[in-house]
A and B are shown apart, each in its own frame.
Chain A
């Protein structure tokens, strides 16, 4: 037996084109559509400027409760009739709330999209919002959040967010609220939120075989009965960095692992340095072959996985590292992780690492964008961040052309190992002494 010993060279790169984008203004709103010839499935998503940032203080989670209420019946049919009508097409309503947007979407075989969009709009624009239903859905959400918060992670995330952004900013509190803030949401909060933000036309995103779809008809259904104009986005937040590293300890007695959430603030998504910043995160902790995964998983065997990223929204960003490590190695894992961030800030990236990172990021644009759902999500990025229609083609080129100097400079500018907040959710009694000895930062017990 003789295997081929040398790695084959790649063939000629075949051109990748982001699907053609069509924009149609209709009934006071805009349809932004991507053409996927031959695709059997189609996706439509209503993108509304009604994200969590619009929630009132102390009522975080209002938008999430409203999202769930959309399926509790409409002004013309009760919840069971609505579920049967929509699911009878094979569709399910997918709702999501992030910092910048409120989205309601459906995916179905292409021939059924028009009927699915009509039903989707019926739920988004004319939900029944019966007070008893809203109160019940709110209570269910509180219970679901309590379930979620029983898992490792959400409390650590909340401690980090609060420390980075402060209780005074909406973004200093959890995206979907916590059990207490959702419990405080009233029926009126929910109906007001709907009245203020979900009656505006917004944008309808469509991804599918446009030869089989009538965009004007879809837009007319999505925007029927709406009024008002698009809202002007607020500018980005500043990026302050803490003067010293601190450890926030979130106690989780009897935990067999420690959940790590490290972070500091960073620029917003539309920032001109987005490409080098992304590549910094890829080399540090984005790829499986990243420095962090190599050291903490492959060499040390401390974890099943570790990743670093820059999470970026319209107004702010945050650099973060997340992992779960065995309790006994919590302190050494932290020391090694901070050490890698330091090393990257001081010495930058190598050409060999960057070569992997840029071709991976550029190539994964091609690989990831196969489905109507992923194309619709890409359209949403364009709309939310005000990016041009040729953005993805340009992005691909910019990723491939990024230099070592450019990316190393971004590492020096946007990584701040000395100002990191290190949140550890684990069994404090077992890890506190090791953390003290490691002298990695002042230790504070976090109340979450």
Chain B
């Protein structure tokens, strides 16, 4: 018995969307939903680590930390205290493309969130001190140690990027940055960074939840309307690449890891393109879930890969061809070469063995559920609308992503798979250090 596929959605965004633009250029988006008394305020600034010049890696992310350390009318640490004191949850993230800030609160605190965001958009620089910078620099260095340096395989992403993108490309370096550059960060650089990028005309504000558009537009104007635009926000650096890489690159790392692991990676297409939609569905067919080709053939079939550490996914970057990453970790007694050959064979099969209807429907069904999971919170919806407004100029374009995934055909996947040739592949291998033979340790 074959499962009936999930019904095809006509839209991935069945909630209302209203937009306006303040005189200073700030785009404001409102998506009403009165099913719970909560609201999310989400801001995307069109600045990420891709904007960092050489010698300043990690600055966009360190700057994100500084945004929580006080502004003109908000004392140091008060930002967190006010939001949590209102019952809200908040965070911010930085990636190569952009920096986002968001808080979800009981709706009666909407104005608080807008006031806090406006104050740090328009009034960060006067509050920025050397002491704050020094302290947050240490926090970020600890973040780097905890996430990347003290964890087996933790530096894989840091190693893949420079192999995937040539020196000088905006995606060549990782967002967390280097310890050397962070140490060299000066206060003046950060003041200039804010003046250059944290402008209303370089940001999108989305409010989703138990609100009305009229109320939000008026409040947005009240709190953000007086912030001066920056006359010429410098365009982001060019991410243009002439095409897929033309020769394979590999790196082998020997370290304190518990088992061999391989990463195969390719530059594909920018997020938002038809080519990348095909890669997204391809990744689901190839590496999501127990029914995926990788799982079926390497964890279940040949049994050379550990079932919990197998997968394929695209990293959704929009300003240059985005990476597809395929990874597997060896079972006991399996060496890296065997595992690598096994993974490569499965990746190559995507071009040589046509994807079946059942494989395609399975991959799309999983993507459909993950889409609706993202849409099940006001926070997930607000971030999605900010993304589409920032990257594609139109929040309502968010509605098309799910139908576009669902429209991907087996032929589209075969076309996409043919671009994943071994000649353009980046291979990263981790090998465990040779340990001393048994009996020699005290």
Render A140-151 as a binary contact track against B, CB cut-off 8 A, 1 for contact: 100110110011
Does chain A have a CB within 8 A of B82?
Answer: yes
User: Within residues 68 to 93 of chain A, which ones have a CB less than 8 A from any CB in chain B?
Assistant: 68, 71, 79-80, 83-85, 87-92
Q: How far is the CB of B19 from chain A (nearest CB, A)?
A: 23
Q: How far is the CB of A282 from chain B (nearest CB, A)?
A: 9
Does chain B have a CB within 8 A of A10?
Answer: yes
- B369 near A91: Cβ-Cβ < 8 Å: yes
User: Within residues 354 to 400 of chain B, which ones have a CB less than 8 A from any CB in chain A?
Assistant: 358, 361-362, 365-369, 372-373, 375-378
Q: How far is the CB of A30 from chain B (nearest CB, A)?
A: 26
- A151 near B152: Cβ-Cβ < 8 Å: yes
Does chain B have a CB within 8 A of A62?
Answer: no
Q: Give chain B's interface residue range (CB within 8 Å of chain A).
A: 35 or more
Does chain A have a CB within 8 A of B25?
Answer: no
In angstroms, Cα B227 to Cα A380, docked, is 48
- A90 near B365: Cβ-Cβ < 8 Å: yes
CB neighbours (8 Å) of A370 from chain B are: 36, 38, 376-378
Q: How far is the CB of B153 from chain A (nearest CB, A)?
A: 9
On whether A88 and B365 interact (CB within 8 A), knowing A14-B106, A364-B87, the answer reads yes
Which of A4, A11, A115 sits near B3, CB closer than 8 Å? A115
In angstroms, Cα B36 to Cα A368, docked, is 11
- A41 near B373: Cβ-Cβ < 8 Å: yes
Does chain B have a CB within 8 A of A413?
Answer: no
Render A353-368 as a binary contact track against B, CB cut-off 8 A, 1 for contact: 0011001111110111
- B369 near A84: Cβ-Cβ < 8 Å: no
User: Within residues 251 to 299 of chain A, which ones have a CB less than 8 A from any CB in chain B?
Assistant: 254-257, 287-289, 294, 297-299
On whether A326 and B142 interact (CB within 8 A), knowing A112-B6, A143-B306, the answer reads yes
- A83 near B289: Cβ-Cβ < 8 Å: yes
Which of B72, B105, B291 sits near A87, CB closer than 8 Å? B291
- B290 near A256: Cβ-Cβ < 8 Å: no
Does chain B have a CB within 8 A of A40?
Answer: yes
- B112 near A8: Cβ-Cβ < 8 Å: yes
Name the CB-closest residue of B to A40.
B372
Render B165-184 as a binary contact track against A, CB cut-off 8 A, 1 for contact: 00000000000000000000
- A109 near B362: Cβ-Cβ < 8 Å: no
Interface stretch of the complex, out of B73-81, B156-164, B269-277, B407-415: B73-81
- B361 near A3: Cβ-Cβ < 8 Å: no
Does chain A have a CB within 8 A of B151?
Answer: yes
CB neighbours (8 Å) of B115 from chain A are: 4, 7-8
- A356 near B145: Cβ-Cβ < 8 Å: no
Does chain A have a CB within 8 A of B96?
Answer: no
- B290 near A254: Cβ-Cβ < 8 Å: no
On whether A71 and B139 interact (CB within 8 A), knowing A10-B109, A89-B3, the answer reads no
- A287 near B77: Cβ-Cβ < 8 Å: no
On whether A16 and B37 interact (CB within 8 A), knowing A143-B259, A289-B80, the answer reads yes
20 A-B interface contacts by CB (under 8 A): A3-B73, A5-B73, A11-B107, A14-B106, A16-B37, A16-B106, A71-B290, A80-B296, A84-B291, A91-B365, A107-B369, A144-B309, A147-B306, A287-B80, A287-B84, A298-B135, A360-B84, A363-B106, A367-B104, A370-B378
Given A7-B73, A367-B88, 15 additional A-B pairs, CB 8 A: A3-B118, A3-B122, A14-B107, A79-B300, A88-B2, A88-B365, A92-B366, A111-B7, A143-B331, A144-B306, A144-B308, A147-B329, A360-B88, A364-B89, A366-B36
